[in-house]
Structure 1
Amino acid sequence: MSITQHGHDGHDERPHADTAGSDVVLREGEDSPERFPNPGFGPHRPRRSDVDPAANKRAERQVVALFAISILGTIGFIIAYFAFPLGDSPQTLHRSNLTLGLGLAFALLGIGLAAVHWAKSLMNDHEKAEDRHAQRSSDQTRAEAVQVLKDGVEDSAIGRRGVLKGALVSSLALFPLTIALPLIGEVGEDWNVRKLKHTMWAKNKKLTIDPTGRPIKAADVTVGSVVHVIPEGLDETGAPLDEKAKAVVLLVRLDPRDIKSEQGEGWSYDGIVAFSKICTHVGCPVALYEQQTHHLLCPCHQSTFDVADGAKVVFGPAKRPLPQLPITVDDEGYLVAQSDFHEPIGPSFWERLR
């Protein structure tokens, strides 16, 4: 039946000529429908697990098996954490990262797949629709919502499936260990981020060329030149990979008149400035220097730092300047550090203030 209705804005609303007898309504003079018919839900098709008790039980066993995979993944992560500690060689780093990564992957994948399979094969799959109401529902509606949640818990049958409930609780209870274990005090020194606050740089430590270790005199550095430097004695520490990753520095000599600012008073020497090579975004090595603009570019994500202005960020995702190493010269004219960096190097971590 076709019915003409009067709209709120004074326009006539009438069914389109081609849709007589339907609920599609058009405003006069417009082609876009004002209202569509409600198609409703199609016929419900029961799943095999709904009609076959054997299939239902098989689906439950599959969900339990997936939770078991998560539990084994968490246990594997814990074993790998202690069995394959981080070492000084690329081989030990690779072995540790691989085993920890696989354990974490199976722990997460098992929980995720189990939850999806549980919802699709065991929980109620009848489609439901609810009218939209004001955000603050009536007390009756709120009570009904609580009841729906209770019905959902009942529908999941978790109370009647003891093995399934045990597998769920066990996998969820064990998984946080993959996050908490690396954060536990001094269980593994290599997971202790507090050591990132300090490097080998110290008062009167000479700047040496990377990788030869030859000390540098200020007179050897010309305007516009860039030198990659490491602290003197780095190769004698016994942990060169760890220490070099923190202590690498880029030394640049500018015309002193081009220096706009530096991070500390007297931290440069006659236009020579030294900044950490570790990008403050995600830790990539910053090493591309543009002499005319005095800009340093990180090749990973294009963060750009202005060496002439305290290595402040001028472009890209980095949020902080590169830490500056205070330098001076000793009695023989060699470049030396005045101290360690005054802030942690590299990207953010949970213990740094900024």
Structure 2
Amino acid sequence: MSNEHSSTDLTVSGAGTSPATFQDPGMPPHQERMADKDPAAAKRAERQVVVLFAVSVLGTVGMLLAYFLVPSGDTVESMRTSNLLLGLGLFLSMFGIGAAAVHWAKTLMSDHEQAEARHPQKSDPETRAAALAALEAGAQDSGIGRRGLLKGAVVSAVALAPLTFAVPLVGQVGGDWDVSKFRHTLWERGRRLVRDPSGDPIRAADVTIGSAYHVIPDGLREGEHATHWIEEKAKAVVLMVRMDPRDLTEAEDRRDWSYEGIVAYSKICTHVGCPVALYERQTHHLLCPCHQSTFDMADGAKVVFGPAKRPLPQLPITVDDEGYLVAQSDFTEPIGPSYWERLK
């Protein structure tokens, strides 16, 4: 089959058929919108666009008020409320601009179909002048020049929207950048392992093979760290499991870090810091739900799958005189993901 195209017709020929010629159908007839025919409809669409831009402005203002007046605090409830208000404000700010732009384009801007023949990429001066004139005509047709309220709404929304990102970023300038805090947690010699969140101490004899415990340090909300207990908890959370000692593969210098098959490792993933708490008893694998990094609890919590590059830090444990599980020391390496001053 061969095709010959011209500006006026298309000729098609094939085996056993006679050549057929038909006219180029061109563009379909233009259908006017309500706003094109009815000035009242155009005014109504303009008001709707303004309302959407106003929603964006209110979302930006609301987000800023939430940022300054509703801090995250130290409780789960305050964090949830702060994040909800910040997220809602950010959503309204971005959604208002996007919805207004789409509605404006569909109801008020020119929707006449345009067709241009292909031409060399470099245009002559006359063509460039014509293109500039077309752009100016399009801007005039959009009504931005004669619709002052609409112009003010779009300028206000677009000007204020970046504050939803800039203010939180600027608020971090001069903040606490002491990364050495990640090198230490509340764990220390003799501090008991207690259940999270009840705070009940754990007796080694009560831990059965195959069981897993979410663990925090005893006295988390007491003493000098009481006002920042949630930050301390975020660093010190541990997952403790018990398995048959014969299944354990331990480095020579860590053979006394476990107790009769009980091992404890940081719950903070070494990839980006998500909590790893999905334990599979049969394989002794611990899975991070964020990016599927998988650690072998029976072999030093080494990485067996996923993007994490380092094993989970192990908490050395033993028992006290009453048979309760206690830490031998703090973690011997920083917990969590990498940062620029980390040596390993």
Q: TM-score, normalised by structure 2?
A: 0.71
Distance verdict in 2 for CA 1:143–1:212, change over 3 Å:
same
The SS at the match of 2:36 is: helix
Aligned pair partner of 1:342 in 317, 334, 338:
334
- C-alpha displacement of 1:207: 4.7
The SS at the match of 1:275 is: strand
The SS at the match of 1:86 is: coil
Aligned pair partner of 2:277 in 282, 287, 294:
287
1:140 and 2:124 matched:
yes
Q: Deviations over 1:321-349 (max 9, x none)?
A: 5641453669979423334751435xx99
Aligned ranges 1:261-340 → 2 under 5 Å: 269-270=257-258, 273-279=263-269, 285-298=275-288, 303-315=293-305, 319-321=308-310, 323-327=312-316, 334-339=326-331
Count of paired positions: 324
Give the aligned partner of residue 199 of structure 2.
212
Contact 1:204 1:338 in 2 (8 A): yes
C-alpha distance in structure 2 between counterparts of 1:285 and 1:231, whole Å: 17
C-alpha distance in structure 1 between counterparts of 2:108 and 2:239, whole Å: 60
C-alpha distance in structure 2 between counterparts of 1:260 and 1:63, whole Å: 66
1:248 and 2:237 matched:
yes
The SS at the match of 2:150 is: helix
Distance verdict in 2 for CA 1:303–1:239, change over 3 Å:
same
Uncovered stretches (5+) of structure 2, i.e. residues with no partner: 5-11
Contact 2:191 2:327 in 1 (8 A): yes
Uncovered stretches (5+) of structure 1, i.e. residues with no partner: 8-12, 24-36
Give the aligned partner of residue 7 of structure 2.
none
Contact 1:201 1:340 in 2 (8 A): no
Q: Deviations over 1:227-285 (max 9, x none)?
A: 432123213224544433442111345648843779xx759725764322245678664
Q: What RMSD, in angstroms, separates the aligned Cα atoms of the two structures?
A: 4.7
Bigger CA drift: 267-276 or 42-51? 267-276
- C-alpha displacement of 1:114: 0.7
Distance verdict in 2 for CA 1:115–1:350, change over 3 Å:
farther
Aligned ranges 1:229-240 → 2 under 5 Å: 229-236=215-222, 237-240=226-229
Contact 2:276 2:286 in 1 (8 A): yes
- C-alpha displacement of 1:75: 0.8
Give, as a single letter, the amino acid of the residue that structure 2 aligns with 1:21.
A
Q: Deviations over 1:34-78 (max 9, x none)?
A: xxx854321001222223333323322221221111101111111
C-alpha distance in structure 1 between counterparts of 2:67 and 2:255, whole Å: 42
Give the aligned partner of residue 9 of structure 2.
none
The SS at the match of 1:57 is: helix
Give the aligned partner of residue 98 of structure 1.
84
Give, as a single letter, the amino acid of the residue that structure 2 aligns with 1:248.
V
Distance verdict in 2 for CA 1:196–1:335, change over 3 Å:
closer
Distance verdict in 2 for CA 1:299–1:66, change over 3 Å:
closer
Distance verdict in 2 for CA 1:250–1:47, change over 3 Å:
same
C-alpha distance in structure 1 between counterparts of 2:53 and 2:343, whole Å: 39
Give, as a single letter, the amino acid of the residue that structure 2 aligns with 1:158.
I
C-alpha distance in structure 2 between counterparts of 1:77 and 1:61, whole Å: 24
C-alpha distance in structure 2 between counterparts of 1:146 and 1:192, whole Å: 53
Distance verdict in 2 for CA 1:291–1:52, change over 3 Å:
closer
Aligned pair partner of 2:185 in 177, 185, 200:
200
C-alpha distance in structure 1 between counterparts of 2:341 and 2:104, whole Å: 39
Give the aligned partner of residue 27 of structure 2.
41
Bigger CA drift: 152-161 or 101-110? 152-161
The SS at the match of 2:171 is: coil
Give the aligned partner of residue 20 of structure 2.
21
The SS at the match of 1:117 is: helix
Q: What's the % identity of the aligned pairs?
A: 49
C-alpha distance in structure 1 between counterparts of 2:18 and 2:189, whole Å: 89
Q: TM-score, normalised by structure 1?
A: 0.69
